[in-house]
Structure 1
Amino acid sequence: MDKLNTRAVVKVLEEKCHISTSDRLLVAVSGGADSMALLHLLDENGYQLAAAHCNFQLRGVDSDADEQLVAAFCEANNIQLYKTTFDTKIYAREKKISIEMAARELRYDWFDSLVEEHHYQAVVTGHHGNDSIETFFLNLVRGTGLRGLSGISFRNGKVIRPLLDFTRTAIEAYCNSNQINYCHDVSNDDTRFIRNKIRHEIVPVLESINPAFFETMQSNLEHLKDAELMLESEVERFIATDVVDEDNKVIIPISKLENYPHYASLLFEVLRPYGFNSSVVGEVIGHLHGLSGKQFFSETHRLIKDRHNLLVLPVEEIGVQHFWLDEGENSDVLPVKVRIYIKPDNFQFSRNPQLIHLDADLVELPLLVRKWKLGDAFMPLGMSGFKKVSDFFIDEKYSLKDKEDAWLMLSGEAIVWVLGKRIDDRFKVSNRTKRILEIELI
């Protein structure tokens, strides 16, 4: 492995991070050896930069000491420093997430705001090769797709990581040889945390088996990254040619999916952006030919196994379930937009299922618009008997999502219209009709 020096880092910046010497950089500096070495290297090479330090208030006086160390270094080297303080525990409690996730969200949201306000080309972090290897094992233990096994990327959007080719030992040696002070976070020694257990207990055993373990893992991660890129290409092709994304609903045809030899991996990558983990995707695969209506959930989305498709929809809170409408009113601010008014005699019947005409003298205003429920029944146009709405849905081949989205319009206790589909025969216009009520779904 190359020795950590300015020339080696500049090479990585240019070839793997795609950064030029004219770019303005925001360096994330915690006070640890990796970020302090990175700041020194970039400053020594004359990059246009500023430092950004977050005090997460998690380690008491140690957190304050980190801030003071970073501030002293920046002042001594005439480097602009942005500082901020977060109440990380309160944020984590409010968001119901881990402290680690809270700290990540807080710092990257802040970095994004600095980049936008001050026009930096990239945020530079001190992640190194050991971090990438630890991430591989962490994801391996938790369960992941190929993406989680390819380590940390040199560039992800505006975030770049030019130290991934170097070891923690090389970074600390650089700090020592250049007399750079840095802080040691004692929480990194606590093996109750999985990452620390991997770092202090598992990796040393593997290094004892293979003295070139770091170089071997770096090579493995490169191969996995190449495989990931090939899989991404296949996923993009499948999404572009076979997956439909419309009206906040993603439709995945099961027959098209199964045309791929390794469709389980393909489906995982398609569903991953919607928060579905490998365990849930495995359950979905097991139910591809099961009964329709089976549902699977992530934190943000749900997946419905329909007859021939998998439907992915956002998890939505229950909204308006019913409302009243009178003649001359409309419901533009409600989930269902309906307009009701009396029509003159000289009109033509509509063939549009979104536009209906009823005998106004048979309708009791105001009309109730509500969600359907079990037991609802009506007399579909052209029939002389009643039919359950649920049976009507089956005949019309409604999916589970279609049923959930279905609305009924009622006059008193009687169903007038299954919106967008069929009116009730009892309210139709006949040769006895004197006044016509027009209702439009807009």
Structure 2
Amino acid sequence: MLEKSSFINQLKNLVYQPENHTYLLAVSGGADSMVLASLFKDLSTEFQRSKYQIQVAHINYKLRGKDSNLDQKVVQDFCEKNHIKFHGYEVSEKDQKPENSIQLWARELRYNFFKEIQEKENLEFLVTAHHLNDQLETFIINLSKAAGINGLSGIPANDNAILRPLLSFSKNEIYQFAEQNNIEFREDLSNKKNDYLRNKIRNKIVPALLETNDHFLDNFKKSSFYLNQTKDFVQKQIQEIEDRITLFNLSHKILSKDKLDQENDFVKFEILKKYGFNQEEEIPKIFKAENNSSFFSKEYQLIVNRDELILVNRNNAPEVPTKILLIDHFDTSKDQIHINLQDLVQGINEYNNKNFEWDFDAELLQFPLYLRKQEEGDLFYPSGFSGKKKVSKFLRDTKLSVFNKEKIWLLCNADNQILGVIPLRQDRRFQADRNTQKKVTVRWIEEQLIL
């Protein structure tokens, strides 16, 4: 039988200097969560003069009538007795329950509630009472879904500021601890029903497995530890491969399509899965797609650009104006005016490695000058070419990706004539020559210039 010190030490190992942190405990009223609350209360006594702080959250789903209310009372009474702030949420008619997927609905409801409290109360960590039996049930569920090594590694003890300090302890050990230490809790009898997949596994499969070997849970715990070590090693190797094939990683990420295609299907899937492309059948389509094809996940747009895969975060894309004023008039007291585009637009250097400096004859220009985005039918007279050319055809010939085409700016004057396609080509009609007396210079220079 485990001593209290074993539980306390496990908490201390996981929560890292608990005297300097704040926690929201998810407490249902069952044995596992009441043991969790009791252990944190003991830590609270130990660190009572520090910044350590705990609060408790409880959801009353109103699914079991009087029993649901009694669960809530046990949690509330515990908090009142130990001077712990209690946050309760009682499900009402406005929280419409779906006819199916009650468990998914309940999970989303409670985690939204927990997040709301954490933000309001400024609590760093959410703590749940998952234990070793929960870990085994999750393993079996994920095994049935072909979840791969990440799924088989089970529930993490520390994941995105969610802590699960009881994962090393079995359900029986937790019950024994509660009885030893006179911890009051409520038994949820609905867990005995086999209405849901987890309950079927809990009530039928797990007991049968435990009967096969007296040390089954201990051996499973060791296996889970080895799987997690393997997962960590694999993830490290995957990251090294991704780093090796990454061509650019600032405002967006560019991966070498050819180099990634040389890796096996597992590596391809693991790398692209990080960006939300987690459907295995989608991966071959990405590598067979035509140039400038786009694929979308919840957060990312993936653009196929010849030998590259461009990943753009859709949520972090800044709002870009369609028109930017550069200069409203020419100061005739000066012979030359400089406009440094580095101060005005971003991202030019991502697809144009060379600095550029274009000189215009100010007497040929109609002011004001401005930048705008491409419009249908735009024409200009590119320097180095004879005749005129549609901007759309010029950009097509440059073989820029769709993503980089969207970053193109057109330099225009007051009557909407195009002076240049930034940063690729100047219009020859307005170029300065040896006879020019008044100049406007537009440039992108990496070195900081004093103008």
RMSD: 4.3
**Which residue of 23, 30, 33 maps to 2:31?**
33
Task: For residue 245 of structure 1, report the CA deviation from its aligned partner.
Answer: 5.2
Residue 336 of structure 1 corresponds to none
**Which residue of 418, 424, 427 maps to 2:421?**
418
Residue 277 of structure 2 corresponds to 276
Residue 346 of structure 2 corresponds to none
Q: TM-score, normalised by structure 1?
A: 0.75
Confirm or deny: 8 A CA contact 2:336 2:438 kept in the other structure. Answer: no
Change (3 A) 1:86 1:271: farther
Residue 387 of structure 1 corresponds to 389
Change (3 A) 1:207 1:352: closer
Task: For residue 386 of structure 1, report the CA deviation from its aligned partner.
Answer: 2.4
Larger mean CA deviation between 374-383 and 124-133 belongs to: 374-383
Residue 409 of structure 1 corresponds to 411
Residues 5-52 of structure 1: per-residue CA shift (max 9 Å, x gap): 4243245346x6375797777461332221102233455686447542
Q: Secondary structure at the match of 1:405?
A: coil
- Amino acid in the other structure paired with 1:395: D
In 1, distance between residues paired with 2:385 and 2:210? Answer: 79
Residue 72 of structure 1 corresponds to 77
- Amino acid in the other structure paired with 2:327: E
Alignment of 1:223-372 (within 5 A): 223-244=226-247, 246-258=249-261, 260=263, 262=264, 264-277=265-278, 279=279, 282-288=281-287, 290-316=289-315, 319-320=319-320, 322-323=322-323, 325=325, 327-328=327-328, 344-345=334-335, 354-367=356-369, 369-372=371-374
Residues 185-235 of structure 1: per-residue CA shift (max 9 Å, x gap): 577678665544554566566667778654454343222212101112213
Q: Secondary structure at the match of 2:372?
A: strand
Q: Secondary structure at the match of 2:134?
A: helix
Larger mean CA deviation between 159-168 and 362-371 belongs to: 362-371
Residue 344 of structure 2 corresponds to none
Residue 103 of structure 1 corresponds to 110
In 1, distance between residues paired with 2:95 and 2:333? Answer: 57
**Which residue of 152, 156, 159 maps to 1:153?**
156
Task: For residue 84 of structure 1, report the CA deviation from its aligned partner.
Answer: 2.6
Count how many residue pairs are aligned between Structure 1 and Structure 2: 416
Task: For residue 314 of structure 1, report the CA deviation from its aligned partner.
Answer: 0.8
- Amino acid in the other structure paired with 1:275: G
Task: For residue 392 of structure 1, report the CA deviation from its aligned partner.
Answer: 2.3
- Show structure 2 runs of 5+ residues with no match: 98-103, 341-352, 446-451
In 2, distance between residues paired with 1:88 and 1:361? Answer: 73
Residues 346-391 of structure 1: per-residue CA shift (max 9 Å, x gap): 6899997554332334333344533225554322112122233333
In 1, distance between residues paired with 2:230 and 2:319? Answer: 44
Confirm or deny: 8 A CA contact 1:6 1:42 kept in the other structure. Answer: no
Q: Secondary structure at the match of 1:303?
A: strand
- Amino acid in the other structure paired with 1:101: E
- Determine if the alignment matches structure 1 residue 81 to structure 2 residue 84: yes
Change (3 A) 1:64 1:323: farther
In 1, distance between residues paired with 2:120 and 2:2? Answer: 31
Change (3 A) 1:364 1:27: closer
Q: Secondary structure at the match of 1:437?
A: strand
Q: TM-score, normalised by structure 2?
A: 0.74
